[in-house]
Chain A
């Protein structure tokens, strides 16, 4: 196996197609609360932890503009919206203490939580909320920072100090956009003034070196346990293990299977979750052979996700057969995984019918900076060969992938992981609509489009869930792409630190970490 040197580097730059944001049912036990914070009085966070990050926060610090997953998951500690995601991916009140939605789904009323302070010491007022949301909905510079917020027709505080939002048309996903960071109304330059309401406040950022955070003592919720958090950029993936073993770094999210094994022999615990993304051999449905559904199905029959997992991640990972990962409990249907159990004969037969017997050739474009995708592609090439398909791998750097493959759709097949941001079915499914701007696999199926439209048009939750599941089932049956797995996520944490939590989205919750006596 070709050892890929640059692991994870460019990876965190991405948003909708990306890896990371781990989740899992394995959440650590709640802190053995130290004497100070048991009763909440005289609370103070202590200690210092250094956490390695593969990618610097190089798309800025403005919470309304950042896209990179690696940046979002860090800023999760600094900023909060009216609501925020909990460890299960549910939206819970944050800056707002409560909210009410009118029966027509058009009016949202948020009650602001008492005693929520910004890191500069001022209390959050309705003005701050209105400023933050209108900043994101502002279209004066062309497109709004958060296009979904342009649906807002009315945004004001009422007499009771509640924030009232009216929409032009109902949007079942609207609440998920209320995770938009609330920043002070005076802050016209959030890039420079990093002031939020989260459990950690921002101290400094030295490009390519480190980001320093400090526990915010006046946080409204459960306060952070560790006082100082230093995020250290480790640009060279080969030095991760050495630095951790040498004691310079206490924690690293998303180590490889190999690194995890090595670190486990030392002073580290390995937490295992999932990346929450749809890893697939994405097929460009416009590429001539892939226009034929039978060819795409043949590929699905030729590959074996279990073998991929065994080879790439020591058997960890969850098989998927359509465009949804298991964290979406209500849409995930494990029975679809049996649609294409490995069957080389069947694959050959389908190819023969389609006229591609022993003559199908294509190249798989893979971003070289992500080892699991490269390793996956290597296994796939071997599996496809057994079915008489001649696939070759073309490694490209991340920027080339973004422009050539993703943006210009100039490719035949690619291995990548696609995540959902926000955590909604719309984010996962809309990209398969024939006219979607991010439909990089050029999937074109009028039945699917109709079904999707029907799902979006209905307000009945149950009916909508059913329609979404049907959409997912269509993607599997028509072999929109060859779906593989939701990758496992390994987090290495020094043995004296506990409390790591996996989220079903991009979030590294540093506030939940705490020191134990065990070393």
Chain B
């Protein structure tokens, strides 16, 4: 067991190292220069040189990368070139937004998809299931950003249920903040729900033929009891994998949905930092996304073990 976590952490570190190096190299290759970006067309060669020296850009590439890694290990992610504030505090300020959005959309996905998926399986091949299946396929193929634009138009401009772009900072009012994030969260959740329902329905149907299900029925359990107590536990495995990926996807995909709803979260920071060539910020945000992806992988593994003892047993054997 310890060996298992040790391996996971090692692979996390290796992933981060590779990713950060790739990002560093990418900025080395693409045109543009943070010093020039900041000075604009008023730049003179002297001012560019002075600013580059101030930013440490005059040093060789590998040396800069090494220096950056050393500082990161010490917990110092540097200072934003554009805003002169520590990268950590800048990201720290945006993180609650992205986390709230992720939690909201993921909990919606879970709450909606589990009962619906089971219901579809229960009425498999009947009208309810057939209609549900078509609706599901349709929704699954609609991207979240399009739903976002649609919602802004319908609920914002026509029905006035919310104020488009009326984002309220969590520092101002937490209910207002969550209230505004609900619509974007729904836009993210709907396609994810559709996917979850499809997966769950298939998994439940697969499990339903198994011996333990018949045993459970024969012991006098109702369908609901069998479904939720016995089948669901086994059917959840593919779903947990999907949800794990979905969390990472929501965070990385926040760039798009934040643009649609004008939410000043992590995605926006990433986007503008790339166009400003603000390397320290870009590096930190991408590392953060990478950490989330790897961590979700870890969490999924742990959940497997909790849900399905067989996984644990296999590992021992």
Q: Which of B31-39, B188-196, B197-205, B298-306 contacts A (4 or more CB under 8 A)?
A: B31-39
A53 to chain B, nearest CB (A): 12
A14 / chain B contacts, CB cutoff of 8 Å: 40-41
Q: Mark B252-282, 1 if CB is under 8 A from A, else 0.
A: 0000000111101000110110011100000
A424 to chain B, nearest CB (A): 15
Quick one: given A58-B276, A68-B40, A236-B262, are A242 and B83 in contact (CB under 8 Å)? no
Q: How far is the CA of A508 from the CA of B50 in the complex (A)?
A: 31
The 4 closest A-B CB pairs, nearest first, are A399-B32, A243-B165, A246-B164, A209-B264
A461 to chain B, nearest CB (A): 27
B93 / chain A contacts, CB cutoff of 8 Å: 206-207
Quick one: given A143-B47, A402-B36, are A246 and B157 in contact (CB under 8 Å)? yes
A116 sits at the interface (CB 8 A): no
A437 / chain B contacts, CB cutoff of 8 Å: 44-45
B46 sits at the interface (CB 8 A): yes
Pick from A56, A400, A438: contact of B272, CB below 8 A: A56
Q: How far is the CA of A271 from the CA of B215 in the complex (A)?
A: 77
Contact A243 B164 (CB under 8 A): yes
B20 sits at the interface (CB 8 A): no
Interface centre among B47, B90, B152, B164 (most CB of A within 10 A): B164
Residue contacts A-B, CB under 8 angstroms, 28 given:
A10-B275, A16-B42, A18-B41, A56-B272, A58-B82, A58-B83, A59-B40, A60-B84, A142-B46, A142-B49, A143-B46, A143-B50, A206-B169, A233-B264, A239-B259, A242-B165, A245-B164, A246-B164, A247-B163, A248-B163, A248-B164, A396-B31, A397-B32, A399-B275, A400-B31, A402-B37, A402-B41, A437-B44
Interface residues of A in 187-244 (CB under 8 A from B): 191, 206-210, 232-236, 239, 242-243
Q: How far is the CA of A402 from the CA of B31 in the complex (A)?
A: 9
A398 / chain B contacts, CB cutoff of 8 Å: 275
B43 sits at the interface (CB 8 A): yes
Q: Mark B75-108, 1 if CB is under 8 A from A, else 0.
A: 0000010111100001001100000000000000
B268 / chain A contacts, CB cutoff of 8 Å: 208, 235
A406 / chain B contacts, CB cutoff of 8 Å: 41
Contact A246 B163 (CB under 8 A): yes
Contact A239 B37 (CB under 8 A): no
Contact B262 A404 (CB under 8 A): no
Q: How far is the CA of A345 from the CA of B259 in the complex (A)?
A: 48
B166 sits at the interface (CB 8 A): yes
A33 sits at the interface (CB 8 A): no
Pick from B32, B262, B264, B269: contact of A403, CB below 8 A: B32
Q: Interface size of A by Cβ–Cβ distance < 8 Å?
A: 49
Interface residues of B in 147-183 (CB under 8 A from A): 152-153, 156-157, 163-167, 169
A72 to chain B, nearest CB (A): 11
B83 / chain A contacts, CB cutoff of 8 Å: 58, 60, 207
Name the residue of chain A whose CB is nearest to the CB of B85. Answer: A207
A417 to chain B, nearest CB (A): 11
A49 sits at the interface (CB 8 A): no
Interface residues of B in 15-74 (CB under 8 A from A): 30-33, 36-47, 49-50
A188 to chain B, nearest CB (A): 14
Q: How far is the CA of A143 from the CA of B268 in the complex (A)?
A: 34
Quick one: given A67-B42, A142-B46, A402-B36, are A239 and B264 in contact (CB under 8 Å)? no
Q: How far is the CA of A406 from the CA of B48 in the complex (A)?
A: 14
Q: How far is the CA of A206 from the CA of B167 in the complex (A)?
A: 13
A388 to chain B, nearest CB (A): 32
Quick one: given A242-B164, A402-B32, are A235 and B262 in contact (CB under 8 Å)? yes
Q: How far is the CA of A403 from the CA of B167 in the complex (A)?
A: 35
Pick from B32, B37, B42, B153: contact of A242, CB below 8 A: B153
Name the residue of chain B whose CB is nearest to the CB of A60. Answer: B84
Interface centre among B42, B47, B153 (most CB of A within 10 A): B42
Q: What 9 additional pairs, Cβ within 8 angstroms, besides A60-B84, A207-B269?
A: A16-B40, A17-B41, A59-B38, A59-B82, A234-B262, A236-B262, A246-B165, A399-B32, A421-B42
Q: How far is the CA of A208 from the CA of B271 in the complex (A)?
A: 10
Q: How far is the CA of A59 from the CA of B43 in the complex (A)?
A: 13
Pick from B40, B46, B259: contact of A13, CB below 8 A: B40
B88 to chain A, nearest CB (A): 13
B164 / chain A contacts, CB cutoff of 8 Å: 239, 242-243, 245-246, 248
Name the residue of chain B whose CB is nearest to the CB of A18. Answer: B41
Q: How far is the CA of A151 from the CA of B82 in the complex (A)?
A: 30
Contact A403 B84 (CB under 8 A): no
A407 sits at the interface (CB 8 A): yes
A383 sits at the interface (CB 8 A): no
A15 sits at the interface (CB 8 A): yes
Name the residue of chain A whose CB is nearest to the CB of B46. Answer: A143
Pick from B31, B47, B156, B260: contact of A399, CB below 8 A: B31
Quick one: given A14-B40, A58-B83, are A209 and B275 in contact (CB under 8 Å)? no
Name the residue of chain B whose CB is nearest to the CB of A147. Answer: B44
Interface residues of A in 1-43 (CB under 8 A from B): 9-10, 13-18
Contact A208 B165 (CB under 8 A): no
A432 to chain B, nearest CB (A): 15
A455 sits at the interface (CB 8 A): no
A249 sits at the interface (CB 8 A): yes
Name the residue of chain B whose CB is nearest to the CB of A16. Answer: B41
Name the residue of chain B whose CB is nearest to the CB of A397. Answer: B275
